Structure 1
Amino acid sequence: MTSPRIDLDGVVRLRRDLLASGMTDNQIDRLVRAKALKRIRYGAYVDYAAWDELTPEDRHRLLTRAVLARAHSETAVTHVSSLVERGIPLWGFSLDVVHTTRTGPERAGRQQRDWVPHRGVLEPDDLEELNGVTVSVAARSAFEVTTIAGVEAALVAVNRLLHAKAMTLEDFKEQAEVHRDWPGSLTTNLVLHLADGRLESVGEDRFSYLAHAQGLVKPEPQVEIFDEGGLMVARVDFAWPDLGVFLEFDGRIKYERYRRPGETLEEFLVREKEREELVCQLTGWTCIRIGWAALARPEQLAARIRRVMASRNKLAS
């Protein structure tokens, strides 16, 4: 799912506008030192109180608008920045740098500390208006990020777009085919092979990639569990049914999504434990629970999973 985007229209205040209102450069500098204004890039400011309340994603969106205010009129928001504008959850990308693409015969411009101006061909069908700015459409954005990122970060972005139904896998395949001669196409092809819109969170995306990179047997995502009467009572994040093992990823999103109204965290955790026990009783499987820390040690986690699988094989033999 995507996050709601707050309206940032008119929030950025350019130096030329402040001067036109009667301020001097010295006054602007004093306001910045007093934390009444926040300088977000050269010649662009925002009220400090407003900046202080923004999320990292909305700060990136504000920086994007500061870039566009001084960029050529044919500049579109693309790559990572277009996904942030959509509210797509990301991992592994810096939000301190804005990505744009400029069409037309002129050069794209010089890369700056906070701005990467790309040069490319953007057809009318590649663009749309979103939140008052021109962005690359979802499938084009998905392809774009595969050309500038590693497989894991790009896979997270593509899966989040698929899960949000912002694009289809066929849309992404079409973009990959049209741009098959672009640098980075090897990453694109691997992401296309691994992409799966059934995954529900960044944590699940990253574990899916970890399983591939570590050579684990490919797990089945979102496996439904039924009781003796055929009623679905649970759905587990990943499972290896033939091996009698399932895996649950514990992250903040799961707590937020599945906690009932008025339910405390402790009550939720007790209910989650009861759900796990029910799955084990109905299936005879063993549960592995992981969190963000485990993903930072992929070899160790993969070895742990292999040991569990090996013990299950011994029990079955």
Structure 2
Amino acid sequence: MPDLPPLLLSRDRLSHDLTPNELAKRVKAGALVRLRHGVYTEGPRWRTLAPWEQYRLTVQAAAETFQKPTVFARRSAASVWGIPFVGYSHPVAALTLKNDGGRSRCGVQRHFAGGAGLQVVQREGLLVTSRLRTVLDLAAFLPFAEAVPAMDHVLRPDPAHSLPALTKAELEDAVGATYSAAASRRIRAVLGFADPLSESVGESLSRAVIHLAGFEAPILQQRFSDAGGLVGYVDFCWKWSRVVGEFDGETKYVKQEYLRGKTVSQVVVAEKNRENRIRALGFDVVRWDWAELRRPGALERKLAVAGAPRRRTRSAGS
């Protein structure tokens, strides 16, 4: 669990010279945050964590309270593997071998899994479903658009976690007889659509929303050049309709690996100059952010106004 604050367990309070009243006072003052019954962490550090880091810590907090070996799955396993998913206000997900329809208790959702063929590994001190099984579960049980970012991600190498890319053939072979016919169809729909050229969660989700809205598939990472040389690469391009789409996540303006030694204002100016050069080539540039991506219909309306092409229906012929 790298770079995350430590957990304080109430059962260990005596070793920290804390009484129950002192724990309560520290929570009230914001010095501690209570993650679940009997588990706390440092308040100031908790508030600096990104949402996905906070979720990962809640998984760890749940693990500290279980009396029996527990296998984490779905989004919880994904958080351990570093597989991205949409939203982070989710219950902790764990497996049960008892087929009673699953149950939720104390912020933990239990999901049935047959023991046959179940691959479990130990990672960061937790038992989790294998990386391959985790991403297949996400495709099987999440909405299509939410499953696409995870599938796109595992098709690329993950240097941050020292993990190789998975192949579509590996993923297809692993579907096997583990899932119902309906779940298998959902997995194959996500797998068929997945593309490692999407470079972020926002780009992957955008591409899924674009598809579900009925637009033609854009070219990904289209290269642009002008008389001055390389302009850059764009997230989405409908070449014949002269439309470019760009997802504006916060990452490029705050993370050092994207700033590359520049200030935020320098990056913003460079991005504006890049966009002006693309417009000078005769393309309309449409930009959107997380707020617009999450708002139903917002991205579809922007692309429609810009003239992004819709997919032809079967009845329209070829």
Normalising to structure 1: TM-score of the pair? 0.78
Query: What aligned pairs does 1:101-180 form with structure 2 within 5 A after superposition?
Result: 101-102=95-96, 110-121=103-114, 126-163=119-156, 164=158, 165-180=164-179
Alpha-carbon distance between aligned partners in 2 of 1:208 and 1:18, rounded to the nearest angstrom: 49
Q: Greater CA deviation, 13-22 or 150-159?
A: 13-22
Q: Does 1:254 align with 2:245?
A: no
Structure 1 residue matching 2:155: 3-state secondary structure? helix
8 A Cα contact 1:88 1:161, kept in partner: yes
8 A Cα contact 2:238 2:308, kept in partner: no
Letter in 2 for 1:174: D
Q: Does 1:294 align with 2:289?
A: no
Alpha-carbon distance between aligned partners in 1 of 2:35 and 2:296, rounded to the nearest angstrom: 37
Any gaps of 5 or more consecutive residues in structure 2? Answer: 159-163, 310-318
Residue matched to 2:211: 212
Alpha-carbon distance between aligned partners in 1 of 2:18 and 2:276, rounded to the nearest angstrom: 67
Alpha-carbon distance between aligned partners in 1 of 2:207 and 2:222, rounded to the nearest angstrom: 14
Any gaps of 5 or more consecutive residues in structure 1? Answer: 312-317
Alpha-carbon distance between aligned partners in 2 of 1:23 and 1:297, rounded to the nearest angstrom: 46
Deviation at 1:270, TM superposition (A): 2.2
8 A Cα contact 2:99 2:112, kept in partner: no
Alpha-carbon distance between aligned partners in 2 of 1:106 and 1:206, rounded to the nearest angstrom: 33
Q: CA RMSD in A?
A: 3.4
Q: Residues 125 and 111 from structure 1, CA distance in 2 versus in 1: closer, same or farther, beyond 3 angstroms?
A: closer
8 A Cα contact 1:138 1:167, kept in partner: no
8 A Cα contact 1:40 1:46, kept in partner: yes
8 A Cα contact 1:7 1:131, kept in partner: no
8 A Cα contact 1:81 1:98, kept in partner: yes
Q: Residues 50 and 220 from structure 1, CA distance in 2 versus in 1: closer, same or farther, beyond 3 angstroms?
A: closer
Q: Residues 301 and 69 from structure 1, CA distance in 2 versus in 1: closer, same or farther, beyond 3 angstroms?
A: closer
Picking from 12, 15, 19, the partner of 1:17 is 12
8 A Cα contact 2:55 2:89, kept in partner: no
Residue matched to 1:45: 40
Q: Residues 7 and 301 from structure 1, CA distance in 2 versus in 1: closer, same or farther, beyond 3 angstroms?
A: closer
8 A Cα contact 1:76 1:136, kept in partner: yes
8 A Cα contact 2:243 2:308, kept in partner: no
Q: Residues 174 and 254 from structure 1, CA distance in 2 versus in 1: closer, same or farther, beyond 3 angstroms?
A: farther
Letter in 2 for 1:6: D
Alpha-carbon distance between aligned partners in 1 of 2:60 and 2:258, rounded to the nearest angstrom: 35
Alpha-carbon distance between aligned partners in 2 of 1:151 and 1:160, rounded to the nearest angstrom: 15
Deviations 1:42-63 (A, max 9, x none): 2333344554444433332332
Q: Residues 195 and 122 from structure 1, CA distance in 2 versus in 1: closer, same or farther, beyond 3 angstroms?
A: farther
Alpha-carbon distance between aligned partners in 2 of 1:299 and 1:60, rounded to the nearest angstrom: 28
Alpha-carbon distance between aligned partners in 2 of 1:276 and 1:48, rounded to the nearest angstrom: 41
Normalising to structure 2: TM-score of the pair? 0.78
Picking from 235, 245, 265, the partner of 1:237 is 235
Percentage of identical aligned residues: 28
* Equivalent residue pairs, number: 301
Structure 1 residue matching 2:84: 3-state secondary structure? coil
Residue matched to 1:5: 2
